[in-house]
């Protein structure tokens, strides 16, 4: 069932008897999203998916106006995945002209992705808070590919005493190793070949760690050397942090994320590996 109105959604979900699993998305659904939806379907009585391309998390000059729109395909995917309710609001449904604002943490919201995209996490947290308050899910499903986003959402849930369980879901990759992203469609054939160096570099780093190498500088240099083999790839950052986004000089086993952000041509991609 497709719902566009927030009052209708609230009224329907208010009468639900059982657990609610929620998957918030910006549409252009791919296998990464599908894995979240299937996990929600397996673990809950009711599944809600939202599709909303949130304007407040796009900065000037980013791809808001050309973000992939695949409405008919997205609705069909949700039907096939047995989604109970698909929430597809417009901007006027989700935002007033003069709103109370949510602000990202002063440090963790302005490092890594936040250092390049000041204000991005303010908008992301704003819409996620709205959606969680509308749906009031038992379990909310987010992918590990957006690791910094996931960490900040966990912090918001904790700081604002939100009554939902955040389920962290593993990255899903295409057959060639490229992490699924709605922006992959922007890549030319040659750019896609270069983009494969991202996952290659992470796999090399994982192998180094498996052999006992824990020094962050050594691991970062290995990743950099691999990425620099690509012709159309510009490195924005390579960083090694713990689950709380604190920068690490030494890898902590079971508490480390290696993060990469690059531009391949004009397309910005992120990826990571959890150690």
Q: Active-site positions?
A: 33
Which one, of 48, 53, 85, 87, lies nearest residue 68 by Cα? 53
User: For 85-117, what is the HEC assignment?
Assistant: EEECCCHHHHCCCCCCCCCCCCCCCCCCHHHHC
Q: Which two tokens stand for residue 105?
A: 């943490």
Three-state secondary structure call for residue 16: coil
Q: Are 112 and 247 in contact (CB under 8 A)?
A: no
Q: What share of the chain is helix, strand, coil (3-state, %, to 5)?
A: 40, 20, 40
DSSP, residue by residue, 160-209: TT---EEEEE---B-TTSPBP-GGGGG--HHHHHHHHHHHHHHHHHHHHH
Q: Is 256 exposed, middle or buried (0-12, 13-18, 19+ CB in 10 A)?
A: buried
254: left (phi over 0), alpha (psi -120 to 50) or beta: left
What Rg do the C-alpha atoms of the chain give, in angstroms? 19
């Amino acid at each position: 069932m497709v719902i566009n109105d927030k009052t209708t959604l609230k009224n329907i979900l208010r009468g639900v008897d059982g657990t609610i699993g929620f998957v918030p998305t910006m549409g252009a659904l791919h296998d990464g999203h599908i894995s979240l939806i299937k996990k929600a379907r397996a673990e809950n009585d009711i599944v809600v998916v939202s599709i909303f391309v949130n304007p407040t998390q796009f900065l000037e000059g980013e791809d808001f106006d050309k973000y992939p729109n695949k409405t008919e395909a997205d609705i069909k995917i949700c039907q096939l995945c047995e989604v109970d309710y698909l929430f597809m609001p417009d901007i006027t449904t989700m935002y007033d002209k003069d709103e109370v604002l949510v602000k990202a943490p002063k440090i963790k919201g302005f490092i890594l992705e936040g250092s390049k995209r000041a204000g991005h996490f303010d908008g992301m947290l704003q819409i996620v808070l709205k959606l969680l308050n509308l749906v009031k899910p038992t379990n909310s499903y987010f992918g590990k590919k957006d690791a910094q986003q996931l960490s900040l959402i966990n912090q918001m849930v904790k700081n604002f005493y939100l009554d939902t369980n955040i389920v962290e879901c593993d990255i899903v990759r295409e057959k060639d190793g490229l992490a699924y992203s709605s922006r992959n469609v922007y890549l030319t054939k040659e750019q896609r070949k270069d983009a494969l160096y991202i996952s290659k570099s992470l796999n090399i780093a994982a192998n180094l760690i498996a052999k006992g190498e824990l020094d962050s500088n050594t691991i970062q240099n290995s990743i950099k050397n691999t990425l620099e083999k690509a012709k159309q790839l510009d490195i924005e950052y390579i960083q090694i942090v713990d689950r709380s986004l604190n920068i690490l000089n030494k890898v902590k086993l079971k508490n480390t994320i290696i993060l990469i952000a690059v531009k391949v041509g004009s397309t910005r991609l992120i990826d990571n590996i959890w150690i």
